[in-house]
Structure 1
Amino acid sequence: MIEKDFSREVARITIANDRKLNSMGSALLKEFAAAFAAVPDTARCVILTGEGGRAFMGGADITEMGRVQTPAQGQAFIESVHGACRAIRDCPVPVFARINGWCLGAGLEIAAACDLRISSSAAKFGMPEVRVGIPSVVEAALLPGLIGWGRTRRLLLLGETIDAEQALDWGLVERVVEPDALDGAVQEWVDLLLLAGPVSIRNQKALIREWEDKSVTQGIAAGVPAFAKSWLTDEPQKMMAGFGKKH
């Protein structure tokens, strides 16, 4: 199941399938996407994690994939993986991946779709799909932007598994801490984000998404209307006035 806590301005979504290393089949992937679609407008950010201490997400449900018999069935399954990743990327507020253990295959695609990733030092990362007869697809396409083409080829073609320190060195995650410090480190990020204007954070995430699909020249141009849009509310005036008083 997917556990949701939307009671505060920091929403929390947990993949609760610890018995199977938080792997997700098509039904759970659709439930996951629905959870992100239901994040309330009052949320300032989302923390995504896996149940227990063994895995963030061990990948897609290999048992269900093993029952796939036709290209049409394969397409339907992978579209559910893509739908889950797209739901994260379409979420209007930042999503923090709290990576507490194994992060493999579709789990790494889910993590790559998040805005920032913080990892336990005990976590392991990999894209082992070629070892079970399928390519890594959909949001695996985000990996070159994070770690470069050569390292992406290592993960996808060789099926290597890397540890958290190597993931940090490669740029696959932004921070690594000891397991018992993970929640405190996530809270540090949350506290920093809450210092920012809620509208400006949403506008910034939307603009970053635009930059991913545009040339540098187009991305610069897209920033002009995004900047002007800030004054559709009084957030800039209020926050600049407060900033001036503090300094």
Structure 2
Amino acid sequence: MAEIVAMKGSTAEGPVWSSFDRGVLRLVLANPPANALSLDTMAALQAQLDAARDDKSVRVIVLAATGKVFCAGHDLKEMTAHRSDADRGRAFFELTMSRCAALMQSIVRHPKPVIAEVDGLATAAGLQLVASCDLAIASDQSSFCTPGVNIGLFCSTPMVALSRNVSRKQAMEMLLTGETIDATSARDFGLVNRVVPREYLKHIVGKYAQTIVSKSPLTLKIGKEAFYAQAEMGLGEAYDYAARVMVENMLAKDAEEGIGAFIEKREPEWKGE
């Protein structure tokens, strides 16, 4: 298993590099050329996400990558090597898929906002990674696809995240054809928020991150959890749930401070309570 790096400071070792600055934890997939989601890479990324959950200094997480490929999905060579196992690789395949599903869900359920900074190709489980993040900013050199159908392996698990970001027709277009779409199409589909020139990508992501850092961390935690919860509910149930969330949010000290600061025309001082 890859070494779990310390939260503070920075590291350029292992399959996931990390750095921390002004409330933003930057995690970089660093296993080029494919930046594949091997078991080691998923374990390293999961460890960083887990450590950030209760670290109050971490307010936003950015996922980026080195090289020309953001993430090519699962490590097919690693998986193919296990076809010689007695069970033809079943146990290893099940482990890989369960680890990946847990990783993706931990991003969605993470109390901190997670932004994908995409510069390059995001394919299969790599696209799934982008779709699982709360926001995604892509360079104009980025591209996206779910090409499993081309090799006899339908992108069923990437489909879960993809279908929760784009319309059914657009999701099925990508899944059935396996064709690559450019960054502009990904934005039009709803897979990414913005497309920017490559040279400005990190700067724009940083601006988004610092804008979010300036908000109440408690409010962000409450809001992110509520957003994904209500999205799975019927209309009436969603309104009942959201109303309860609003009441609890109103009783929080940060809401009292924020409303007071607005009325008094001053900057709020967040306590995260």
- Give yes or no for TM over 0.5: yes
Aligned length: 245
Work out the CA distance in 2 between the residues paired with 1:87 and 1:224. 25
Aligned residue runs from structure 1 range 61-80, under 5 A: 61-69=75-83, 70=88, 71-80=90-99
* Aligned residue in 1 for 2:69: 55
AA in 1 matched with 2:28: T
* Aligned residue in 1 for 2:29: 15
Asked if 1:237 is matched to 2:268, the reply is no
Aligned residue runs from structure 1 range 88-237, under 5 A: 88-237=107-256
Work out the CA distance in 2 between the residues paired with 1:131 and 1:26. 24
Aligned residue runs from structure 1 range 75-86, under 5 A: 75-86=94-105
- Alpha-carbon displacement from aligned partner over 1:116-155 (angstroms, at most 9, x marks no partner): 1000000010011122221212242122232111111111
Give the conservation status (yes or no) of the 8 Å contact 1:124–1:162.
Answer: yes
- Alpha-carbon displacement from aligned partner over 1:52-73 (angstroms, at most 9, x marks no partner): 3x12212211211222423333
AA in 2 matched with 1:30: A
Work out the CA distance in 2 between the residues paired with 1:215 and 1:205. 18
Work out the CA distance in 2 between the residues paired with 1:179 and 1:6. 22
Work out the CA distance in 2 between the residues paired with 1:132 and 1:64. 16
AA in 2 matched with 1:154: E
Q: Radius of gyration: which is bigger?
A: 2
* Aligned residue in 1 for 2:9: none
Moved over 3 A (4+): none
Give the conservation status (yes or no) of the 8 Å contact 1:125–1:162.
Answer: yes
Cα shift at 1:8: 4.0
TM-score of the two chains, using structure 2 as the length reference: 0.84
Asked if 1:31 is matched to 2:16, the reply is no
Structure 1 pair 232–34 and aligned structure 2 pair: CA distance change class (3 A): farther
Match of 1:42 among 52, 57, 62: 57
- Alpha-carbon displacement from aligned partner over 1:70-124 (angstroms, at most 9, x marks no partner): 3333222211221221221121111000001111111000111100100000001
Give the conservation status (yes or no) of the 8 Å contact 2:71–2:121.
Answer: yes
Work out the CA distance in 1 between the residues paired with 2:152 and 2:79. 11
Unmatched runs of 5 consecutive residues or more in structure 2: 1-14, 267-273
Work out the CA distance in 2 between the residues paired with 1:143 and 1:216. 22
Higher helix share: 1
Work out the CA distance in 2 between the residues paired with 1:6 and 1:219. 36
Give the conservation status (yes or no) of the 8 Å contact 1:30–1:83.
Answer: no
TM-score of the two chains, using structure 1 as the length reference: 0.93
RMSD: 1.7
Unmatched runs of 5 consecutive residues or more in structure 1: none
Percent same amino acid among aligned pairs? 25
